[in-house]
């Protein structure tokens, strides 16, 4: 699956556009991560537990978007964008979307 955050995939030509595809993941913090975050808020530093949580959510959302594109017969996604939001206290969503396309390699 070709992925691009611009309107094209360099070295290819878009043959078909299949429309918008998306994926999301909602994750909640847990007590262990909250406890460590509280300590870091006092002393400073990266909140590694939350960084890992966000990374896992991003990967899952991307995977879901790629599955949706594959089901449409696409082999690429262009104009990929990410968004995050707070769903409720202690839970956040990461949302990814783009345009599913079928591309072919351009001749050199």
Q: What total number of domains does the chain contain?
A: 1
Q: What value does the mean pLDDT take over residues 8-19?
A: 96
CA angle (96 as vertex; 90, 100 as ends), nearest 5: 160
Which pLDDT score, from 0 to 100, does residue 93 have? Answer: 87
Q: Is the pLDDT of residue 4 over 90?
A: yes
pLDDT of 86 higher than 60: yes
Structural domain range at position 88: 2-105
What is the CATH number for 41? 3.30.110.70
Give the pLDDT band (50/70/90) at residue 88.
confident
Q: According to the model, what pLDDT value does residue 28 have? A: 77
CA gap 84, 44 in Å, rounded: 23
Sign of CA dihedral 45, 51, 88, 36: negative
Q: What is the pLDDT of residues 32-50, one digit of tens each?
A: 555 555 555 556 667 677 7
């Amino acid at each position: 699956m070709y992925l691009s955050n611009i309107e094209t995939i360099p070295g290819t030509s878009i043959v078909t556009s299949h429309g918008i595809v998306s994926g999301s993941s909602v994750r909640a913090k847990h007590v262990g991560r909250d406890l460590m975050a509280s300590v870091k808020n006092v002393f400073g530093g990266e909140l590694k537990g939350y960084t890992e949580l966000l990374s896992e959510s991003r990967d899952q959302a991307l995977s879901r978007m790629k599955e949706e594109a594959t089901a449409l017969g696409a082999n690429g996604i262009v104009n990929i964008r990410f968004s995050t939001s707070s769903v409720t206290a202690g839970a956040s969503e990461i949302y990814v979307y783009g345009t599913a396309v079928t591309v072919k390699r351009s001749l050199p």
